[in-house]
Amino acid sequence: MNVSIPCLLLALGGKCLLNWALLLSQKKRRVCRSFLGVLGVSLALVDTVLTLTLAALHVQADGRLLGLRLTRHHVCLLAQIAGQVYGTLQWPVAVLGLLDRYVALSGRCTSTTTTTYTTSRVGEVVPALLVTALLWYAATLYVFLLSDFRPVLGEEPPYQLHQCWVFHSSQGLQVGTLVVLAVACALVYSHTESGRTAGCRGSQPPRDPPRETDAGDVSRRDIVRQALTTLLRTWAPFLVLLAVLLLSPVRIPGYLSLNVPWLCFLNSVLTAVILSASCPASRRAQGLAAFPLDSFCDWRVGSATGDMTSSNPQTSFTVADKKGSFPDRCTAS
């Protein structure tokens, strides 16, 4: 699709401002402790350099730098290359982000002290930096050497070029669709269990509350429901916007498809997936209370005895607040 160069620059400028606003609003100690956080910082830097470069080329229109003739055609070329690179990164970022969350959260679920976490900060940041640099390099090489990317440039003189052809990201569309479907399936999964539990409660006599040692026996549906509630309390508007964009005929240009808000949302979704799928409730209560996992959703939990509670109970991922607070489950009489 054709986009005017001023609109392209305006969109990139707004993207840069939003990227840096979200990064600066988060605590520094949280941003660079995950792969997606490091990638977000690098993406903000790349977007800033790209925007300034395209703006300079547009203003200059036709000039020379180090013996190379640079025109407005290079604005379109760089925007198309950036869109292709960002689109190529979508699936690798999702997969690597999931692996990063699994490794980090599985270690924290089995940890009972904060000593290991404090002493391993450098060990967390350095691998993320290396993986991020390698990912940018591999994506760029793929676009130039292995993909079927062919730039689409106009034949107008530089001073008469006012529009650029830009590609949309099919990979971003696929990842976004998968996320929306996953959340929808989780909603159905937890809702059907809630209805079944309510029906059973109405037909069975009340039972004794579970003991404190039952913390590890919370059903998987209860865990999914709690994780989903925590996620939606923060990201419901973003999720609705994503669903509307996916259903509408409008396609997001490739150079806008990868951004810091999307990475923050993806980090929260992947955290919810790992906590729901592989982190036992009893371990969560012991090992996650002191660890900030997300700058937007508070996933810290309280123990069954109430001695370890979240600093933000309104948005926390709570396994149990006190003795006897676990949801009852239906069993055959």
97 and 193 inside one domain? no
51 and 111 inside one domain? yes
191 and 257 inside one domain? yes
Residue 312 lies in a domain: no
> CB-side exposure of 295: number of CA atoms within 13 Å?
21
92 and 107 inside one domain? yes
Residue 278 lies in a domain: yes
Return the higher-pLDDT residue of 35 and 160. 35
Q: How confident is the model at residue 280 (pLDDT cuts 50, 70, 90)?
A: low
Domain count, the chain: 2
Q: Which stretches within the chain are classed as H helix? A: 5-25, 28-31, 35-60, 73-109, 115-119, 121-141, 170-203, 220-247, 254-257, 260-278, 281-287
Q: What is the pLDDT of residues 309-318, one digit of tens each?
A: 334 444 444 4
189 and 89 inside one domain? no
10 and 35 inside one domain? yes
Of 143, 166, 189, which residue sits at a domain end? Answer: 166
- Cα dihedral value 126, 132, 135, 140, nearest 10: -130
Tell me the residue range of the domain where 40 lies. Answer: 2-166
54 and 156 inside one domain? yes
Nearest residue to 22 (alpha-carbon basis) of 331, 305, 260, 297: 260
At residue 84, what is the residue type?
A: Q
Rounded alpha-carbon distances, angstroms, from residue 154 to 25, 27, 130, 147, 282: 41, 45, 38, 22, 62
Is the four-CA dihedral 228, 231, 233, 237 of positive or negative sign? negative
Tokens 């600066």 -> residue:
24
Of 116, 134, 166, which residue sits at a domain end? Answer: 166
Asked if the model's pLDDT at residue 114 lies above 50, the reply is no
Contacts 24+ apart (CB under 8 A), 78-81: 78/50, 78/53, 78/54, 79/8, 79/54, 79/164, 79/166, 79/255, 80/149, 80/151, 80/152, 80/164, 80/165, 80/166, 80/167, 80/254, 81/143, 81/149, 81/151
Residue 242 lies in a domain: yes
Asked if the model's pLDDT at residue 128 lies above 50, the reply is yes
The pLDDT of residue 161: 72
175 and 84 inside one domain? no
Of 53-57, 94-98, 212-216, the range with the highest mean pLDDT is 94-98
Of 166, 184, 209, which residue sits at a domain end? Answer: 166
> Phi/psi of residue 301, each to 5°?
-125, 165
115 and 221 inside one domain? no
Asked if the model's pLDDT at residue 305 lies above 50, the reply is no
Residue 298 lies in a domain: no
151 and 46 inside one domain? yes
Residue 92 lies in a domain: yes
187 and 280 inside one domain? yes
Nearest residue to 291 (alpha-carbon basis) of 303, 301, 277, 276: 301
Return the higher-pLDDT residue of 332 and 235. 235
Nearest residue to 260 (alpha-carbon basis) of 54, 72, 96, 39: 39
Q: What is the pLDDT of residues 147-194, one digit of tens each?
A: 888 888 767 766 677 888 888 888 999 999 999 999 999 889 887 755
Residue 266 lies in a domain: yes
81 and 160 inside one domain? yes
Residue 248 lies in a domain: yes
